[in-house]
Structure 1
């Protein structure tokens, strides 16, 4: 079963719940598309820039970690850019698709917990993520992450279509 698109007229208890529902929707779309692909297909690039669906999922994992854990909460992260090598997304050969997806889901749960324990108007802790600029509010961070998911799900839709996989909003 897929997560329904968050209807604008559906009542919610808070702004945080609105963001959590959008994240759930976009994550579900990513997961369904990648899980429908073979191990070979998730490691295959169908675009000139060379990224693969599995690299995109790993990027989403690290992207959430960078914004919510390392950035907003100001916690140390061993390798905040561990999804990149020489400016390109990267997945070590010894990681399976199931392992990459499981790590992404664990990070998603961490992100959701951050959203639930902080107010959206709260300002993040200063740290290296901000490169000397004032930290953003949680709301600004989550808006950035939602747009990143929307953009990458669109990219993944095209790749999935080229590979004969799951596409669309259902």
Structure 2
């Protein structure tokens, strides 16, 4: 996998800035997983946590789908890409036989769908589904996604260092 992480601009309009930071954090997760085997991607952090790099990728595919297709576009899902009613943490838990290549392709596809969902919309666009009874704007979704990736990229830093000692931004 080749990453294409680009530093966000120092000066830009708000839409450009938010999208640039989100893309930067998306690619940071790709950098943190680059060059690892499937077994390394499946390695768990520390009991009792089921956290793994592959789990983070799967989780972020779910998050991209939930916010952009679900909240913004109003799509309803009977179950997740990886979670079910029986196992709401399937994105993290069910990785022992997961196909890493397919999961990365799913994550990338969800990013593409998210970009399509938001393309050309003003930041004030209100999503078609409420979140905890509240309207949510595209601006809020973008800021939340940056926060979500930044938090999980911190987890990915620690996981990667534990796996092979690689550190970096």
In the superposition, the TM-score normalised over structure 1's length comes to 0.84
The Cα shift of 1:52 comes to: 1.4
The Cα shift of 1:37 comes to: 1.4
- Match of 2:105, SS state, is helix
Query: 2-side partners of 1:165 and 1:91: how far apart?
Result: 25
Q: Among residues 101, 105, 116, which one is paired with 2:104 in the alignment?
A: 101
1:164 alignment counterpart: 164
1:43 alignment counterpart: 42
2:129 alignment counterpart: 126
The Cα shift of 1:15 comes to: 1.9
Runs of 4+, deviation exceeding 2 Å: 80-95
Distance 1:2 1:81, change over 3 A: closer
In the superposition, the TM-score normalised over structure 2's length comes to 0.85
The Cα shift of 1:90 comes to: 3.3
Query: 2-side partners of 1:29 and 1:57: how far apart?
Result: 11
2:74 alignment counterpart: 74
Query: 1-side partners of 2:104 and 2:112: how far apart?
Result: 12
Q: Give the total of aligned pairs.
A: 163
Runs (5+) with no aligned partner, structure 2: none
Query: 2-side partners of 1:107 and 1:16: how far apart?
Result: 20
Q: Is the 8 A contact 2:42 2:96 kept in 1?
A: no
